[in-house]
Amino acid sequence: MAFRKKAEYILIHKPDILVVPECEHPDKLKFRDDIPKPTDILWFGENKNKGLGIFSYADFKFRLIRTHNPAFKMIVPVAVTGNNYKFTLFAVWANNPHDPDGVYVEQVWKALQHYKLSKKNTILAGDFNSNTIWDRKYRTGNHSHVVEHLQKKGISSCYHLHHKQVQGKEEHPTHYLYRHQNKPYHLDYCFASGDLCRKIESVEIGNYEAWKQYSDHVPVMVNFCDD
């Protein structure tokens, strides 16, 4: 929350695109004059204090894809164009307390059944609020099912691929419950299609000490090389 108070710390890393869960509505985003302003914004949510924001800090422009189904909160398909690139971004904040089938990863699973994912030029990024350690063995739509479904499409977790990690045994947490270092979890992901995964230059997970004063999550930063 309160992205306006934290933007300067992530903008040090000069991102082209940011996916920001728990983000206030753009009407509330009042930045200092010395803070770079986004070139494009999409925002989704019912609570203006806590929605899903997608920000461009480059020449990328966003367009909501017409097949968007608002029932899947908040899994948002966005057409991204600019810098001679064109790809589909599914911005994710898996959190729907009104769905009796499941609040978190179940939302991602349902969205994957609804949307037709391309095997090329596809990224899913954000807070999935899930990890294979919480798989419900006899329930369809757990974290492992999501990962397997994406793998069949040739879409992989950039972090796990780049750092040779195993789902559920991640060395680098992205979330610290109540900001306690002794309660670490890996909940945030950037999945990308194979053509984009081959362009990964680096995948960095934010440091707890550097970020604990700003959020209970740390950023997942993925850098793709140019053609």
User: Cβ contacts of residue 47 below 8 Å, gap of 6+?
Assistant: none
Q: List pLDDT tens digits, range 28-82.
A: 988 888 999 999 999 999 999 999 999 999 999 999 999 999 988 899 999 999 9
Q: Predicted confidence band at 99 (pLDDT cuts at 50, 70, 90)? A: confident
Tokens of 118: 């391309």
- Choice between 98 and 216, residue whose per-residue pLDDT is larger: 216
Domains of the chain: 3-224 (3.60.10.10)
Chain position carrying tokens 């991204």: 80
Q: Predicted confidence band at 97 (pLDDT cuts at 50, 70, 90)? A: confident
pLDDT, mean over the chain: 94
Average pLDDT for 197-213: 97
Average pLDDT for 131-153: 93
Distance CA(93)–CA(129), nearest Å, equals 8
Q: For residue 188, is pLDDT > 90?
A: yes
H or E stretch at 75: strand 75-82
Q: List pLDDT tens digits, range 1-26.
A: 678 888 999 999 999 999 999 999 99
H or E stretch at 147: helix 143-152
Average pLDDT for 169-190: 98
Phi, psi torsion values for 50, nearest 5 degrees: -160, 85
H or E stretch at 114: helix 105-114
Both ends of the chain: CA-CA distance in Å? 35
> What local confidence, expressed as pLDDT, does residue 1 receive?
60
Q: Quick one: what percent of the chain has pLDDT higher than 70?
A: 100
Tokens of 204: 């960095």
Tokens of 195: 């053509």
> What local confidence, expressed as pLDDT, does residue 226 receive?
84
Q: For residue 187, is pLDDT > 80?
A: yes
- Best CA proximity match to 38, nearest among 59, 56, 19, 20: 56
Q: Which amino acid is at 158?
A: C
Q: Predicted confidence band at 203 (pLDDT cuts at 50, 70, 90)? A: very high
